[in-house]
Amino acid sequence: MEADNFKHAGRMKESPDDLLKTILSQPSIKKLIAEVEDVYGGKSIETQLGMNDKSHGAFDWTLDHAKILINPDTGLNEANLAHELVHALQYKQGFPFLDQTGYQDKRHKVLRGLNSNILHIHLAEELEKRGFSVKDYFDPTVSEMVRVLSRRKSKETKELPILRIHYDAVEILRMYYERSYLTQNQQGQLSALQARKSPVAKKLSLELKEIIDSHDVTTPEGSAYALRDCLINLNGENASSRRSDYESGMYDKSIEEIEEKFIA
């Protein structure tokens, strides 16, 4: 991959704007951009630096052209930009991208995480096919997971609210499908932290994995069914449903959206 020809030491001296220009000039990135612009009817991609949350990057699927946001602190590399560009291709291919704005609590993060992590199973394969490093875009996320779990106190672990458990579970899901891109040390550290700091979420993530594995999530239809069935699981009897703050039907709105938009 062309990215490997750049020396990281030299890159550190570049401003974020200059580094973005360098990344955009790479043949592999230019080829992927051309693919995206083609499926958008020739409309140019909009690429901006800046994020208003802890994400490393984002693809805005609500516009008539592809808009990519990159976090200049954690997401400024070829792999992360390619990752967002493949999301743009997925959107045009019919993979499910759900509206998360209808929730005023942590459900929007649960939904975003579950939706994204199911899409990543197909996305990681596409990145590898194109010669991009999955590890390069995944490493910042792993570091954040380790940081959050390491700081969690024993009392917090016992008293985690239901939506935090759901969020942890969908984060743990990524490990099952993308851990092969991590070092053995990263895999072991994360697995131990997850089992110790969020044990209910660990059990719940295995339930969700079983559901996902029953569908072909490398296709738009399979991804939609997997997403819907995971939300049905979170709505009903599952590893977290004995919690005092559990409510049935928590994700009804999103299940209806999937069935209306993505399942014939």
Considering the domain architecture, whether residues 142 and 62 belong to the same structural domain is answered as: no
Q: Are 190 and 238 in the same domain?
A: yes
- Considering the domain architecture, whether residues 117 and 220 belong to the same structural domain is answered as yes
Residue 98 belongs to some domain of the structure: no
Domain end: 51, 67, 93, which one? 93
CATH of the domain at 44: 3.30.2010
Whether residues 32 and 131 fall in one domain: no
Residues 44 and 14 in one domain: yes
Residue 54 within a domain: yes
Q: Residue 221 sits in which domain range?
A: 107-261
CA distance 44 to 65: 7
Amino acid 6: pLDDT? 40
For the CA atoms of 202, 208, 214, 218, the dihedral, rounded to the nearest 10 degrees, stands at: -100
- Are 127 and 180 in a shared domain? yes
Greatest extent of the chain over all pairs of C-alpha atoms, in Å: 54
Same domain, 127 and 70: no
pLDDT at 7 over 50: no
The pTM of the full predicted model, rounded to 2 decimals, is 0.84
Output the DSSP codes for 34-87.
HHHHHHTTTPPPEEEE--SSS-SEEEETTSSS-EEEE-TTT--SHHHHHHHHHH
On whether both 79 and 196 belong to a single domain, the answer is no
The residue out of 44, 60, 93 marking a domain boundary is 93
Q: Please report the pLDDT score of residue 1 as a whole number.
A: 37
Domain finish residue from 34, 62, 93: 93
Query: Does 119 lie in the same domain as 89?
Result: no
Structure tokens at 144: 């954040």
Give the model confidence (pLDDT) of 39-74 as tens digits. Answer: 999 999 999 888 666 677 888 888 899 999 988 887
pLDDT tens string 80-115: 899 999 999 999 999 999 887 778 888 999 999 999
| 100 within a domain of the structure (yes/no) | no
- Percent of the chain having pLDDT more than 90? 42
Q: Specify whether 46 is located in the same domain as 125.
A: no
What rounded mean pLDDT belongs to the chain?
85
Give the number of domains in the chain.
Answer: 2
Q: Is residue 99 part of a domain?
A: no
Helix pair 27-39, 78-93: axis angle to 10 deg: 20
